[in-house]
Amino acid sequence: MGQNKEELKKLLSFITTLTEQPGNEEFVAGLRAILLSDTPGIEKSKLEEIYEYCIERNSRNQATDFYKNFPIDELRNELVESYILMEGFRRRGDFLNFCAHLFKQIEGVANYICNLPEYQQIFTNLLDCPAIFKYDKDSQPYRDPESPSVAVLIYDAYGQTSDGREKKNNALKKQQIQDKIKIAMYLAGYAACLYSHSEFKAFGFNIFKLYLVRCAADHSGATRTEKQEPIYREAVENPGKHYIEFMTLLNSVISKVSVGFLAKDDLFKFAESYGVEECVGVVTSILPGAIFIQINGAKPRQVPYDAYDHQISFNEGNIVNVKVKKGNIVGVELHLESH
């Protein structure tokens, strides 16, 4: 009985604190409705109802604060609701559903990012770009030419398997969810500015482990392989450790994306210029809707329709600045001498 009294005192103190905080008017009104109902006295069920009401209110405040700086407005309400559900399952000790709703938040962010055409273009342009930065002797960052490419970093294929080559040719929105998450984290979390390969591999492994638990919660019927089973078991048999580990994972994704997503426009410009070689050519012929140029004495080539400004008048013999990427003409402008 004494212990129950102490619990009631804590509950009363907690309720008092909430009622005194500005912005909790709805909570106070709901509390009054419970306390002033026709039921004589306050039964245990009433106290439990009040307690749950307090906890839900606290969870909502916590979730709202967690996502307050998240830059994607369209997702914020959905993410907050998933966070509240996640917290509810954590409090009740339901590890599988906790993981399912935590994964849902990361999945929602990754799907949104991978559906943006800007990130599709960025990813396509940076596939063969070295993925890791280093510092030189003057502490200046540079892309390490010996580091794995972005494609290798994401798919962990090291150029040895057809799996990696086939995956990278898929549109982002058609990628597998684990790959989507890694792509979103690299491009929108790290803004393609990563300094540790091992850090990213650890991130990918934790996402994979979380994914295995999420699949178990969804009862998808997927059979775990012999290699997957011990990874899954290590998580579900040590929930205390993994509540913390997976919450740290969620915090890492949201905090990094909250910053890196804001660099999208700068990253797009870099990706557009990556691998572009500049040279000089000459216009050899003009046809209706078509321009042909010669580069370094080679056979004249037609300029792609979207590679030049159609408001500019080109003439045979014009000297032009040409941008070439992976052997394709991606830009043509009049040389200063031709203006």
3-state secondary structure of 22: coil
Token pair of 136, please? 């030189």
Give the type of residue at 216.
A
pLDDT for position 93? 93
Distance CA 177, CA 40 (A): 54
Residue with tokens 């031709």: 338
DSSP 180-224: HHHHHIIIIISTT-B--HHHHHHHHHHHHHHHHHHHHHHT--PPP
At 179 the pLDDT is 94
pLDDT at 33: 66
Residue 160: the pLDDT is 45
Q: Phi and psi of 149, rounded to 5°?
A: -70, 170
pLDDT of res. 211? 95
- DSSP 8-state code for residue 23: T
**Partners of 308 in beta bridges:** 332
So what's the pLDDT on residue 161?
46
The CB density around residue 177, as the number of other CB atoms within 10 Å, is 16
Q: Which amino acid is present at 96?
A: L
pLDDT along the chain (339 residues), means of 10: 58 67 68 60 59 75 94 96 95 94 98 96 92 87 90 71 59 90 96 93 95 86 85 95 97 97 94 87 89 90 88 89 85 76
